[in-house]
Amino acid sequence: MAKLTADTDLCQGYGNCLTTADDVYDIDDDGKVVLLTETIPEADRARVEAAARSCPVKALGVVDG
Amino acid sequence: MSTVVIVGASVGGVRTAQALRANGHDGRIVLVGAEPHLPYDKPPLSKQFLAGAWEHDRLALLTEEEAAADGIELRLGVAATGLDPVARTVELADGTSVGYDTLVIATGATARPSPWAAESGVHVLRTLGDGTGLRAALAEPGPLVVVGGGFIGAEVAATAHAAGRAVTVVDPLPAPIARVLGAEVGRLVGDVHRRHGVETRFGTGVQAVSGRVGALEVALTDGTVLPAGTVVVGIGAVPAVEWLADSGLELDNGLVCDEFCRATGHPEIFGVGDVARWFHAGHGEHVRVEHWTNAVEQAACVAHNVVHPEEPVQYRPTEYAWSDQYDWKIQIAGRPNRATGFELAGDPTTDPPRFAALYRDETGRLSAAVTVNWPKLLVAARRLITAGTPYEEGLSVLDKLIAPVSAA
């Protein structure tokens, strides 16, 4: 399992994370990221890490959980 | 063991290197960068870095530790000066060369230089060095004249205005951003300057810039002369392909690539980011895109195609860009300048405004969206555009988020 982090202060609502992993990330009415789950299986890790790396302000993390 | 050499250490090059490892490439990765700094991110240079809110360390794209952890060999401070695609070697500015099995060209674009010469005080903004110089210049008093009303110019104007500088933005077009957004939406969005008390001279060209830092004069084509302490020239960028001039690769407004981002006639050479003009199969034409998200998405696609040459994936993204100006967050998906019509939603008159333009193309699909201060709507529209949704169907889905206020 890997654990997801999201910094809503950093988040600017650019939305790139949703194009790669909208099963994990969503956006609220204020344009801030919402985590749909707190953990992901290792099988999803590479894809979700790519989604996290697509964040222009580095608001997202995938850490060992 | 196969070696991938990546030339260009900005976001496209760095993300390609990382994505290669994520895709299971177990050979060498050599990342060549012309600038001496560790890889850094460029979008904040006109915003947080220019404002002094962020320092250099906040811009880091790849630390030495991260490079080491991914086995990425860094060759920084050495520009690539030539390419021999037969011998498969890249020549470097220090006289050495590096051999490759696969080459990724990600040298980006360079700021179009100012055609107006002054003794000093005229800046462009593209690199960290440019940003450091401009930041120091903005700390001095005196009015700022920004030549060019595109994204970079508008962001510099907004940042300088917030820092208390008197700013004038000059552009020969009556609505500069209309190049991207179309005339009517371009006017609405371009109005951001006036609404924040920044003077604009749109529809007026620059005749000459003279003087020196602190005592510059910008002569306009209508005869006006604007005094300036500092001048910023933001008139676009040109793909950085000079080093490929003798390589035999096909160059035409960038490195010409196929739908898999492979250079013409060279399946072992790929293009990523601002430098690459590739065949977008969805649009049926070659395109070149100078935006951060494109570099990241193209890097992911190229990394896949390098590691899996037997099952390459076409690169056919929905274009996406953003610009933060004053308290307006402007987001663009698709190609609004190719649209045949649009509808407006939301209210452009509130302060700050929240509105959107939703565009259709000649095939009757939802083809583009522009939002101001409405990220959630942009995300939803971007998804529908990518899915090729018919226009009316797309609007009815988006209608749950909006109430259209007018039609055009």
Relative to beta strand B206-212, strand B215-220 is: antiparallel
Measure the CA–CA gap between B266 and B86, rounded to whole angstroms. Answer: 10
The separation between the first and the last C-alpha atoms of chain B, rounded to the nearest angstrom, is 59
What is the pLDDT at residue B1? Answer: 67
pLDDT per position as a tens digit, B28-71: 999 999 999 999 999 999 999 999 999 999 999 999 999 999 99
For residue B141, name the pLDDT band (cuts at 50, 70, 90): confident
* DSSP character at residue B275: G
Long-range residue pairs from A44-49, CB within 8 A, at least 24 positions apart, any chain: A45/A2, A46/B22, A47/A20, A47/A21, A48/A2, A48/A4, A48/A20, A48/A21, A48/A24, A49/B22
Interface test with chain B among A8, A16, A62, by most B beta carbons within 10 Å = A16
Interface test with chain A among B376, B383, B384, B401, by most A beta carbons within 10 Å = B376
Alpha helical stretches, state H, B163-243 = 178-181, 183-190, 192-195
Across the interface, which of A16, A27, A53 has its CB nearest the CB of B376? A27
Across the interface, which of A15, A28, A50 has its CB nearest the CB of B382? A15
Across the interface, which of B41, B300, B329 has its CB nearest the CB of A13? B329
Q: Which residues contact B139 (CB under 8 A, 6 or more apart)?
A: none
What is the pLDDT at residue B407? Answer: 42
Q: What residue in A sits closest to B21 (Cα-Cα)?
A: A46
Is the pLDDT score of B295 beyond 50? yes
The question of ipTM being above 0.85 is answered as yes
Across the interface, which of A27, A54, A56 has its CB nearest the CB of B379? A27
Is the pLDDT score of B303 beyond 90? yes
What is the pLDDT at residue B404? Answer: 44
Q: What is the mean pLDDT of chain B?
A: 95
**pLDDT > 90: what percent of chain B?**
94
Cα angle value B380/B152/B237 (rounded, 5°):
105
Whether the CB-CB separation of A64 and A2 falls below 8 Å is answered with yes
pLDDT per position as a tens digit, B100-136: 999 999 999 999 999 998 999 999 999 999 999 999 9
Select from B128, B121, B108 the least CA-distant residue to B35.
B128
pLDDT per position as a tens digit, B247-278: 999 999 999 999 999 999 999 999 999 999 99
Whether the CB-CB separation of B50 and B159 falls below 8 Å is answered with yes
Decide if B321 touches A, using CB distance below 8 A: no
Say yes or no for a CB contact (<8 Å) between B324 and A22.
Answer: no
What is the pLDDT at residue B183? Answer: 87
pLDDT per position as a tens digit, A10-56: 999 999 999 989 999 999 999 999 999 999 999 999 899 999 999 99
Decide if B171 touches A, using CB distance below 8 A: no
For residue B408, name the pLDDT band (cuts at 50, 70, 90): very low
SS3 A63: strand
CA distances (Å), origin B49, targets B11, B125, B134, B223: 17, 12, 10, 35
Whether the CB-CB separation of B286 and B264 falls below 8 Å is answered with no
Say yes or no for a CB contact (<8 Å) between A15 and B324.
Answer: no
For residue B402, name the pLDDT band (cuts at 50, 70, 90): confident
Measure the CA–CA gap between B33 and B61, rounded to whole angstroms. Answer: 13
Burial class from Cβ neighbours inside 10 Å (0-12, 13-18, 19+) for residue B310 reads exposed
Is the pLDDT score of B179 beyond 90? no
For residue B403, name the pLDDT band (cuts at 50, 70, 90): low
How many residues would you count in chain A?
A: 65
Say yes or no for a CB contact (<8 Å) between A28 and B41.
Answer: no
Decide if B22 touches A, using CB distance below 8 A: yes
Adjacent-strand bridge partners of B342: B359
The model carries a pTM of 0.95
Average pLDDT over residues B338-360: 95
Burial class from Cβ neighbours inside 10 Å (0-12, 13-18, 19+) for residue A12 reads middle
* Residues 41-60, chain B, touching A (beta carbon < 8 A): 41, 43
Measure the CA–CA gap between B145 and B131, rounded to whole angstroms. Answer: 16
* Owner of token pair 């749109």: B202
